[in-house]
């Protein structure tokens, strides 16, 4: 089995495909841990349900969902997700609030069945929770009910990030995913016999 290693450079390319410009390039894609110390552990702990914050708990939830939806051949998931989220949330604070709210929706559903947050249960239960919520069959809709928002902000955003990166594109045989020009060499070579 071939292993596909995601990098911070892949995250930068995925952000470019999403229309996010990161000043300072890949070096700027780091999670500011000092903000985690000031931010509440969870959007639901913030005390203000109308404006949840995107902190460490939300990042951990995104990592857990990525571990479920990304193919097993992919490595470097944590660093890739962290870098992608750092760029995504810094570039669009309003979207970061919506992303945190989707995490809160997932936690609310998980608490109904497991009496704890999504990241507190094992990987098998996490996968069952996503399926039980109907995320795998729901349409992504940022204004829909909780399962639609979880699909839109967590699952689809993570899958978009993966498959718009050069490594994710290579995984599925797309030599030049959107946002990755590939250079002149890519179109001067004959197709390979895959």
Pick from 69, 37, 65, 40: which is nearest to 52 by CA?
A: 40
Q: What is the reported pLDDT for 154?
A: 97
Average pLDDT over residues 118-146: 96
- Compute the Cα dihedral for 75, 131, 136, 142 and give only its sign: negative
Structure confidence at residue 2 as a pLDDT band (50, 70, 90): confident
SS3 113: helix
Q: What is the reported pLDDT for 194?
A: 54
Q: What is the reported pLDDT for 169?
A: 85
- Where do the domains of the chain lie? 4-22+40-179
Instruction: Collect contacts of 126-130 with beta carbons under 8 A, ≥24 apart.
Output: 126/64, 126/65, 126/68, 127/68, 130/65, 130/68, 130/155
Distance CA 40, CA 53 (A): 8
Give me 44's structure tokens. Answer: 């639901």
Structure confidence at residue 44 as a pLDDT band (50, 70, 90): very low
The answer to whether 90 and 136 have CB atoms below 8 angstroms apart is no
Phi, psi of 5 (to 5 degrees): -95, 115
Helices (H), the chain: 8-17, 33-38, 56-69, 77-91, 93-114, 123-133, 146-150, 157-163, 166-171, 185-188
Average pLDDT over residues 46-74: 86
Distance CA 180, CA 185 (A): 13
Q: What is the reported pLDDT for 3?
A: 86
Q: What is the reported pLDDT for 178?
A: 54
Structure confidence at residue 32 as a pLDDT band (50, 70, 90): low
pLDDT of 152 strictly over 60: yes
Structure confidence at residue 189 as a pLDDT band (50, 70, 90): low
pLDDT of 22 strictly over 90: no
Distance CA 183, CA 74 (A): 24
Q: What is the reported pLDDT for 192?
A: 63
- Compute the Cα dihedral for 7, 10, 14, 19 and give only its sign: positive
pLDDT of 132 strictly over 60: yes
Q: What is the reported pLDDT for 52?
A: 74
Average pLDDT over residues 74-99: 95
CA geometry: angle 144, 91, 142, nearest 5 deg: 5
- Residue burial 51-84, b: 16+ Cβ < 10 Å; e: rest: ebbbbbbbbbbbbbbbbbbbeeebebbebbbbbb
């Amino acid at each position: 089995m071939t292993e596909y290693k995601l990098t911070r450079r892949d995250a930068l390319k995925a952000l470019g495909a999403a229309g996010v410009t990161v000043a300072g390039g890949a070096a700027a894609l780091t999670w500011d841990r000092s903000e985690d110390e000031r931010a509440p552990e969870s959007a639901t702990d913030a005390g203000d349900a109308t404006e949840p914050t995107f902190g460490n708990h939300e990042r951990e939830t995104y990592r857990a969902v990525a571990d479920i939806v990304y193919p097993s051949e992919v490595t470097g998931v944590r660093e890739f997700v962290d870098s992608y989220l750092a760029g995504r949330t810094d570039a669009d604070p309003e979207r970061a609030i919506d992303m945190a709210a989707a995490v809160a929706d997932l936690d609310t559903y998980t608490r109904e069945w497991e009496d704890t947050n999504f990241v507190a249960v094992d990987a098998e239960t996490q996968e069952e929770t996503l399926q039980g919520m109907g995320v795998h069959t729901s349409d992504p809709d940022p204004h829909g009910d909780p399962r639609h928002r979880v699909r839109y902000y967590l699952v689809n955003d993570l899958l978009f990030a993966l498959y718009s990166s050069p490594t994710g594109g290579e995984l599925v045989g797309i030599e030049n995913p959107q946002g990755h020009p590939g250079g002149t060499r890519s179109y001067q070579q004959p197709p390979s016999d895959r």
